[in-house]
């Protein structure tokens, strides 16, 4: 029996919206938003989309009007009663009322701010300018919209069975990965794949496959949760994540002297230290070079719960952190190391084999969980690519990111040179950025 009402209702949609909820975003964006709302409400920031994979000419694949429709639809969203209740009432990392009342009241009235869109040389130049805490929430939906519109552009050309077989193959691939991960004793792994996912429904499927294949960590399994708040809410999972490069990048851009600049990354974490404890005290050390950051770090940082490794050679970075903890009199076996850069099964296995027992190892698995469609269509038109949406300026000053991989560096050349000097970053080993 066809449900006629459902069929008719579905026909009424003018578009098939990609972002249907303000919490279809990464948990750490909300955490950071609250922190910015408290500490930096008057800072104006510009976020800008950047496609590192230049050969993928997005503006030739995606119709501009369709993109505008999706962005406009997202702008119409407001936090629902249930979403607000979930954010207010939930326990995150064992802590109740993670989100303060003043922040929640502001968020309940929030809508995504206006955007600027133009096309230059086959690419969309999409920017969001305004108060930092308002524009920063565009990052994830903007990326997810563009990723999914690109998927749709390719999928639109396919027949019904081709589509079914495509997803059959993709599912078999994800499941094989999960079966391989099952072999790793004591594994802890989370989904970090919202921003560059193939599509929302696909991420949701991948998360459910992780739950069935690895088991929910709350019930003794290996799957520690998802960074996606909407999926965490709907699937009754832990929402996970801590903080990102945008905090030190904006703090650094606002520094007026070299001395202030040198202190900026630590000032970020001092603010964070005041607000958060336990599993949220995770250092992201690579914004201006991991080695220098740790070397000059204040002692209280060594007491934090762990570190997230998001660029460069992950083995080097983890070994550097272990030596640093040892030098500061900390026991690395009590420390959490979260690997989150371009992971797939082979890297996860190798890193786990090397570091399990020496530190508490955990993984944030992103694009190659939620968007591994490599080789599944002719011309590889569904392969993931490297799209980012970053804070590019703060109160008129350009931001800079060095990272542990020069391929991921951002900012004007002269500023990059200055930052390298200030942070004592020398030669770096480039690593190909696939996703």
Give the interface with a second copy as residue ranges (CB under 8 A): 1-3, 5-6, 9, 159-162, 164-165, 167-169, 171-172, 175, 208-209, 212-213
Closest separation between CB of residue 382 and a second copy, Å? 15
Closest to a second copy by CB, 221 or 312: 221
Pure H helices in 220-361: 229-235, 246-253, 258-275, 290-295, 299-302, 314-327, 345-355
The dihedrals phi and psi of 254, each to the nearest 5 degrees, come to -85, -10
Closest separation between CB of residue 398 and a second copy, Å? 47
What distance in Å separates the CA atoms of residue 417 and residue 409, rounded to the nearest whole number?
11
What distance in Å separates the CA atoms of residue 248 and residue 286, rounded to the nearest whole number?
10
Closest separation between CB of residue 267 and a second copy, Å? 46
What distance in Å separates the CA atoms of residue 282 and residue 284, rounded to the nearest whole number?
6
Contact 194, 141 (CB under 8 A): no
Map tokens 């995770």 to a residue.
282
Closest to a second copy by CB, 207 or 252: 207
Closest separation between CB of residue 16 and a second copy, Å? 17
Closest to a second copy by CB, 109 or 159: 159
Closest to a second copy by CB, 370 or 403: 370
* Burial class of residue 358 (count of CB atoms within 10 Å of its CB; 0-12, 13-18, 19+): middle
Closest separation between CB of residue 202 and a second copy, Å? 13
Closest to a second copy by CB, 213 or 381: 213
Torsion over CA: 330, 334, 336, 337 (sign): positive
Closest to a second copy by CB, 172 or 353: 172
Closest to a second copy by CB, 97 or 208: 208
What distance in Å separates the CA atoms of residue 203 and residue 180, rounded to the nearest whole number?
19
Closest separation between CB of residue 213 and a second copy, Å? 7
Closest separation between CB of residue 211 and a second copy, Å? 8
Distance from the first to the final alpha carbon of the chain: 43
Closest to a second copy by CB, 58 or 369: 369
What distance in Å separates the CA atoms of residue 423 and residue 258, rounded to the nearest whole number?
9
What distance in Å separates the CA atoms of residue 140 and residue 216, rounded to the nearest whole number?
25
The dihedrals phi and psi of 196, each to the nearest 5 degrees, come to -120, 35
Closest separation between CB of residue 64 and a second copy, Å? 33
């Amino acid at each position: 029996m066809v449900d006629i009402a459902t069929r008719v209702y579905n026909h009424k949609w003018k578009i098939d919206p990609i972002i249907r909820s303000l919490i279809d975003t990464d948990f750490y964006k909300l955490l950071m938003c609250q922190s910015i709302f408290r500490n930096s409400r008057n800072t104006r920031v510009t976020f800008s989309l950047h496609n590192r994979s230049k050969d993928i000419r997005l503006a030739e694949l995606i119709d501009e009007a369709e993109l505008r429709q999706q962005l406009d639809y997202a702008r119409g969203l407001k936090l629902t009663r249930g979403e607000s209740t979930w954010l207010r009432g939930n326990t995150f990392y064992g802590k109740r009322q993670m989100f303060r009342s003043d922040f929640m009241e502001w968020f309940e009235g929030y809508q995504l701010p206006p955007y600027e869109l133009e096309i230059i040389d086959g690419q969309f130049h999409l920017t969001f300018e305004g108060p930092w805490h308002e524009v920063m929430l565009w990052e994830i939906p903007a990326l997810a919209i563009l990723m999914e519109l690109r998927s749709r552009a390719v999928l639109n050309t396919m027949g019904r069975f081709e589509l079914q077989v495509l997803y059959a193959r993709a599912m078999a691939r994800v499941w094989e990965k999960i079966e391989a991960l099952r072999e790793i004793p004591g594994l802890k792994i989370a989904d970090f794949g919202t921003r560059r996912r193939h599509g929302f429904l696909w991420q949701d499927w991948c998360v459910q496959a992780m739950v069935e294949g690895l088991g929910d960590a709350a019930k003794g399994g290996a799957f520690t949760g998802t960074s996606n708040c909407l999926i965490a809410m709907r699937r009754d999972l832990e929402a996970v994540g801590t903080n990102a490069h945008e905090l030190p990048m904006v703090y650094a851009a606002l520094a007026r002297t070299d001395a202030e600049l040198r202190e900026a990354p630590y000032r970020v974490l001092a603010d964070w230290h005041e607000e958060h404890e336990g599993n949220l005290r995770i250092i992201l050390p690579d914004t201006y070079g991991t080695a220098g950051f740790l070397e000059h770090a204040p002692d209280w940082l060594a007491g934090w719960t762990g570190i997230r490794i998001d660029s460069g050679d992950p083995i080097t970075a983890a070994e550097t952190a272990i030596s640093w903890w040892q030098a500061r009199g900390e026991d690395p076996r009590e420390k959490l190391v979260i690997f989150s850069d371009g992971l797939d099964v082979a890297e996860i296995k190798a890193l786990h084999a090397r570091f399990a027992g020496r530190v508490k190892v955990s993984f944030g698995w992103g694009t190659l969980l939620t968007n591994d469609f490599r080789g599944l269509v002719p011309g590889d038109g569904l392969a993931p690519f490297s799209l980012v949406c970053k804070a590019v300026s703060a109160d008129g000053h350009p931001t800079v990111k060095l990272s542990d991989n020069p391929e991921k560096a951002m900012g004007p050349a002269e500023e990059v040179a200055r930052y390298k000097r200030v942070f004592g970053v020398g030669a770096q080993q480039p690593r190909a950025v696939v996703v």
